Structure 1
Amino acid sequence: MPLKDWLAALVVICAWGVNFVMIKIGLSEVPPLLLGALRFTFVVFPAILFVKRPQLPWRIIILYGLTISLGQFVFLFTAMYVGMPAGLASLVLQSQAFFTVLIAALLLGEGVRRHNILGMGAAVLGLFLIQLGAAPGSMTLLGFLLTLLAALCWATGNIVVKHAGKVDMLGLVVWGALIPPLPFLALSWTLEGPQAIQASLSGITHVGILAVAYLALIATVIGYVLWGRLLSRHPASKVAPLSLAVPVLGLVSAAWLLGEQMALIQWAGGLVVMLGLAVNTFGPMLAALLRRARRA
Structure 2
Amino acid sequence: MAAYLLRRLIQAVLILLGVSIVTFLLLFLVPADPARQIAGRSATPAMVESIREQLGLNLPIYQQYWRYLSALLHGDLGRSYLQRTDVSTLVWARLPASLLLMAGGIVCELVLGLTMGLVAALRRNSRLDQGLMIASFVGVSAPQFVVGILLLYVFAVKLNWFPIGGYGSFSQLVLPSLTLGVLGAGWYSRMMRSAMLDVLRQDYIRTARAKGLARLRVIFRHAVPNAILPIVAMIGIDVGIFMSGIVVVESVYGWPGIGQLTWQAIQRVDIPIIMGVTLISACAIVLGNLLADLIAPMIDPRIKLR
Instruction: Quickly name the TM-score band, shorter chain normalised.
Output: under 0.3
With the length of structure 1 as denominator, give the TM-score of the two structures: 0.28
Q: Which has the larger radius of gyration?
A: 2
Between the two structures, name the one with larger relative contact order (CA 8 Å, sep ≥ 6): 1
TM-score w.r.t. structure 2 length? 0.27
